[in-house]
Amino acid sequence: MVTNAYGKPEFADALGVSGQCLLCHTSPDGGSDTVKPAAKKAYDNGQIDGLRDFLNPPVPVTDAIPIISPINNEWNAQVGEVPLSIPLIINDEEKSGFLIDLIGATPSLVAKSYSFSMLYLESAKKRPTIDFRWTPSAKQKITKYTVTFRANEVIDNGSKQFSPPIKTSIYLWPARTVSSKNVISQFIINNANWATNKLTLNGNITFKKTASAVARTNALKNLRLSLKSNNGVAVGSLAILKPNTQGVWTSTFTLNNTQVPCFVKAEYEKLNAARTVNHAPTLCKK
């Protein structure tokens, strides 16, 4: 009898499953005594809506783990200069709240010499970002530091989800004492590439806000760059840098595959930066 059936024919039509009795019944006759227990429960809990959920169960919402976007493999910091700032951009589907953990530093960083900014939205794509800021002191060892970060997301049920760790290197340089420290605050190499017997470096400089226009002009007239390999061997000759109005510069050295360094150290007026040379040949200088 229709009055005793759990799945009325019009229900099957409304749900688009006409003729597919086995979705709710254990046999094709569709009788009330063959209704699957789960289908009966779904019907009792909401009739056609319950059956719709039974036939098309909602996909459970899962909270994706956060991911920290890739960052540069190498950074430079100098005692007494502008603090190092590394923006850590977090990719997360839910755009939840986060913390960043420093889960490892070798050698260890001096307590209170580093901090993390408040969470903010990175301007280009409005992605959540937290800056790692480090102000090295004279107590820090002048060496290469390896630091590892992890994003920490607290989800609705109070538990935590962690991103895969991301690691980078920071080269620390001693404080400078020359007078030009009052003009230029940062000297940065963004990348170093070798190809077809040319070593090309790209970077930028940042002037101190207190530097006058005359002081800036004079500094640019004598902005000479010297390069060394990791062992301190001079690379090429002195180069005069010519930054554009935004402080961006490019310098190219003609070197064959036995002259190019694997790792380059650059210096301007005791401001230092280092960078591994991309695509360096097998015979590069160590």
- Looking at the predicted structure, is the pLDDT value of residue 201 above 70? yes
- Looking at the predicted structure, is the pLDDT value of residue 33 above 90? no
- Looking at the predicted structure, is the pLDDT value of residue 146 above 90? yes
pLDDT band at 222 (very low <50, low <70, confident <90, very high): low
Kindly state the tokens that stand for 244: 């554009």
Kindly state the tokens that stand for 58: 């909602």
β-partners of residue 274 are 265
Higher pLDDT, 34 or 222: 34
Kindly state the average pLDDT of the residues 24-35.
Answer: 74
Kindly state the tokens that stand for 205: 């400089």
Kindly state the average pLDDT of the residues 184-190.
Answer: 86
Kindly state the average pLDDT of the residues 213-239.
Answer: 73
Higher pLDDT, 71 or 4: 71
Task: Give dist(CA 82, CA 68) in Å, integer.
Answer: 24
Kindly state the average pLDDT of the residues 241-264.
Answer: 83
- Looking at the predicted structure, is the pLDDT value of residue 210 above 60? yes
pLDDT band at 1 (very low <50, low <70, confident <90, very high): very low
**pLDDT at residue 19 in the model:** 66
Look at the alpha carbons of 70, 75, 79, 85 in this order and tell me if their dihedral is positive or negative.
negative
β-partners of residue 105 are 147
Kindly state the tokens that stand for 152: 């920490």
Residue count (the chain): 286
Kindly state the average pLDDT of the residues 188-201.
Answer: 90
11 residue type, one letter: F
**pLDDT at residue 6 in the model:** 52
What digits encode the pLDDT tens for the residues 54-66?
A: 777 766 556 678 8
Global pTM value: 0.69
pLDDT band at 3 (very low <50, low <70, confident <90, very high): very low
Instruction: Give the rounded percent of residues in the chain with a pLDDT score beyond 70.
Output: 79
- The most distant pair of C-alpha atoms in the chain lies apart, rounded to whole Å, by 100
Task: Give dist(CA 95, CA 151) in Å, integer.
Answer: 12
Window from 83-87, 89-93, 99-103, 197-201 with minimum mean pLDDT: 89-93
What is the average pLDDT value for the chain, to the nearest integer? 81
Nearest to 195 by CA among 72, 286, 281: 281
**pLDDT at residue 4 in the model:** 46
**Three-state SS for 12?**
helix
Do residues 66 and 151 lie in contact, with contact meaning Cβ atoms separated by under 8 Å?
A: yes
**Three-state SS for 281?**
coil
